């Protein structure tokens, strides 16, 4: 007759409580670090993504809820920079289907959203969403009201033109991929430049203009299209452009209204007749 061996109960390892305590401390410390990530991390990310053309200075708060002064610059090493008055503030949120309502499948998936407003230029409602799994960015609720003087910060040719006036940027929805492929773009963006004037001309204002970027055609493989037109003014600008396979092409025309050629000569000379992918044709009055 075989005797059954009595199994001894397994005792917890003496070091287990310490390991659990250490793991809990590490997780708690990581969560605290995530909550209090400094706003400086946003500053560095924006500067890197924009090639040093969009900068955030004087950052306050955390990566989740912070503010900074928005500055436009001409890129790395540029001495031109122009800050917008007031401060830009943001509030981050994460979740499933975070983003623009009423966009169907384009709004599905996990994302990180930033609710953005600016004291002088943007009312609450602007949202920028990054969807890392789809590798796309989505923008909605854009209603920027900017002084045209901020373009000076972008360097040449804006610092030469030294424009004054108002700019309006609006978009209900715009999507683009991380590699900026035209085929992935959806939505539209409208920019109006109103009552523009320049130090190169004594004529004030030069006029008002409208540029529309339309990414709806990208779904059919026709690329990204944009169109420039004149709303009013003595300097008449018009043109159409397209991006196909990462290549930009634009054909534009510039001319002065009858009797304003002398006042607009400097600006027309700066634009100049040129060819290539970005082509301008200058219409000048015929000599008698």
Cα(152)–Cα(84) distance, integer angstroms: 12
Residues 6 or more apart whose Cβ sits within 8 Å of residue 103 = 138, 173
* Residue 196 pLDDT: 96
What average pLDDT does the chain have? 79
Helices (H), the chain: 16-35, 40-49, 158-161, 265-271
pLDDT at 91 over 80: yes
The DSSP letter of residue 9 is: P
Mean pLDDT of the region 231-237? 96
Query: Which 3 state secondary structure label does DSSP give 219?
Result: helix
Predicted confidence (pLDDT) per residue in 199-212, tens digit: 999 999 999 999 99
* Residue 287 pLDDT: 55
For the chain, what percent of residues have pLDDT higher than 70? 75
* Residue 222 pLDDT: 58
* Residue 137 pLDDT: 85
Predicted confidence (pLDDT) per residue in 209-218, tens digit: 999 998 865 4
CB of 161 closer than 8 Å to CB of 197:
no
**What is the β-pairing status of strands 164-171 and 186-197?**
antiparallel
* Residue 209 pLDDT: 97
Least confident stretch, 107-111, 238-242, 256-260: 107-111
Cα(144)–Cα(15) distance, integer angstroms: 59
Its pTM stands at 0.77
Cα(243)–Cα(230) distance, integer angstroms: 22
pLDDT confidence of 29, banded at 50, 70, 90? very low
CB-based burial, 95-115: b 16+ in 10 Å, e otherwise? eeebbbeebeebbebebebeb
Distances (CA, A) of 74 to 32, 35, 51, 56, 78: 37, 33, 9, 14, 5
Least confident stretch, 23-27, 118-122, 216-220: 23-27
* Residue 192 pLDDT: 96
* Residue 33 pLDDT: 42
Concatenated DSSP letters of 245-264: TTEEEEEEEEEEPTT-TTTT
């Amino acid at each position: 007759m075989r005797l059954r061996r009595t199994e001894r109960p397994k005792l917890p390892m003496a070091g287990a409580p310490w390991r659990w305590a250490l793991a809990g401390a590490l997780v708690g410390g990581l969560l605290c670090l995530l909550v209090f990530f400094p706003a400086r991390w946003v500053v560095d990310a924006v500067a890197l993504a924009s090639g040093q053309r969009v900068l955030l200075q004087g950052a306050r708060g955390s990566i989740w809820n912070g503010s900074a002064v928005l500055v436009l610059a001409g890129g790395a090493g540029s001495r031109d920079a122009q800050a917008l008055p007031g401060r830009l503030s943001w509030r981050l949120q994460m979740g499933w289907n975070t983003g623009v309502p009423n966009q169907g499948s384009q709004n599905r998936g996990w994302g990180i959203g930033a609710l953005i407003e600016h004291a002088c230029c943007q009312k609450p409602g602007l949202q920028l969403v990054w969807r890392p799994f789809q590798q796309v960015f989505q923008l909605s609720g854009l209603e920027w009201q900017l002084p045209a003087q901020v373009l000076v910060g972008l360097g040449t040719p804006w610092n030469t033109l030294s424009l004054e006036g108002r700019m309006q940027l609006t978009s209900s929805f715009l999507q683009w991929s991380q590699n900026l492929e035209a085929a992935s773009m959806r939505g539209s963006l409208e920019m109006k430049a109103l009552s523009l004037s320049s130090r190169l001309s004594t004529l004030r204002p030069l006029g008002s203009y409208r540029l529309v970027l339309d990414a709806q055609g990208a779904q059919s493989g026709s690329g990204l299209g944009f169109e420039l037109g004149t709303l009013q003014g003595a300097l008449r600008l018009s043109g159409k452009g397209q991006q196909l396979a990462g290549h930009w092409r634009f054909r534009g025309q510039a001319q002065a209204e009858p009797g304003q050629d002398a006042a607009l000569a400097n600006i027309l000379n700066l634009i100049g007749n040129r060819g290539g992918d970005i082509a301008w044709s200058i219409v000048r009055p015929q000599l008698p």
